[in-house]
Amino acid sequence: MTTLILDPLFDFVSIRKSTIHGFGLFARYNFASDTHLGLVMVKKDQATDFLAHLVEGYGEQAYDQWLRVVGARFINHHPNGNVRMELINGQIVAFTNQQILAGEELTTNYQYIYSQIDLVIPEFVA
The answer to the question of residue 103 being in a domain is: yes
What is the greatest pairwise CA distance in the chain?
36
Write the pLDDT tens digit of every residue in 21-80.
899 999 999 999 999 998 888 887 777 766 655 665 544 556 678 888 778 888 999 999
Domain count, the chain: 1
C-alpha–C-alpha distance, residues 64 and 105, integer Å? 26
The answer to the question of residue 2 being in a domain is: no
Residue 23's CATH number: 2.170.270.10
Per the structure, the complete domain to which residue 62 belongs is given by 8-116
Write the pLDDT tens digit of every residue in 84-124.
999 998 889 999 999 999 999 999 998 888 888 888 777 76
The answer to the question of residue 124 being in a domain is: no
Q: What is the pTM of this model?
A: 0.82
The answer to the question of residue 126 being in a domain is: no
15: Cβ contacts below 8 Å, ≥ 6 apart = 8, 23, 24, 25, 26, 71, 74
